[in-house]
Every structure is written in C-alpha cells, then in structure tokens.
Amino acid sequence: MTNVAVFFLGVFLCVPLLVYVILFSLIKGLIRNHKRSVKFAVYGTTPFAFGAVYFSILSIWNVSLLWLMLIGMAIMGISVVSYLWRQDADLHWSKIVAGFWGLNFVLFMCCHALLVTYGVSREVFLAIVR
C-alpha cells in the first residue's frame, strides 16, 4: 500500500500539470464555477510545482537550492505587498495571499517547464555524444 502512495506522490511531483487538471476537474464538478475552480486548482497545485522544481534541480545538478528558492519566495512576497500597498493604502490579507500564491504558481510552473526542457535536451545530447 505504501508503494502505491509513493508512486502517486512521485508522479504528482514530476507532473504538476496533471495535479492541476485533476484538481480542476474535481472542483469544477463539485462547485460548477469555472473561475473559482481555476483559483482553487492553482492554490492546490502550487506546492506540487514547488516540489517539482526543487527535485528537478536536485536531479539535474545534484545540488539543493531550497534556500535560494525560499529567499526568492520571500522577495516575491515583499513585491506583492509593495505592489498592493501602492495600489491601495489598505492591505487585505486575502489579496496578499492570493497574489503571492498565484505568482508562485506561475513562476514555478514556468521554471518546471524550463527544467524539463533542459533536462530532456541534456540527456539527448549526452546520449548522442556518447
């Protein structure tokens, strides 16, 4: 039973887009609101995208950059708060968290796509050279 759980966790960490599609489909079936389904799917997929980027970096370069990723997230949080503060003097936690989480989703999904492209092309190149 634990092997099955580990298998699904590994797949979800490798393919966060699959997590997004599954979450979106489930939530859309439950609440029947497209906009809210997208928001909830993004919020649920962000940790998987973070894990996918972390483990991709770890497997490609064999180095842990968790500290750099966390510092980048802190800088993004500060940027979101600064942007929202300039737009309106009132800061609402819901807007801060939504902006921060959405920005992290976009960043980590783009990084994941770049890392997958780099990793696959690197392996193809090394296979040809050998």
Q: Do 49 and 112 contact (CB within 8 A), yes or no? A: yes
Predicted local confidence at residue 3, as pLDDT:
74
Domain spans of the chain, in order of start = 2-129
Average pLDDT over residues 47-71: 93
CA distance 32 to 46: 22
Distance from chain centroid for Cα 14:
11
Residue type, 20: Y
Residues constituting the chain: 130
More confidently predicted of 91 and 50: 50
Predicted local confidence at residue 75, as pLDDT:
95
Dump pLDDT digits (tens) for 91-124: 889 889 999 999 999 999 999 999 999 988 998 9
Q: How confident is the model at residue 1 (pLDDT cuts 50, 70, 90)?
A: low
pLDDT at 4 over 70: yes
Dump pLDDT digits (tens) for 75-92: 999 999 999 899 887 888
CA distance 112 to 96: 24
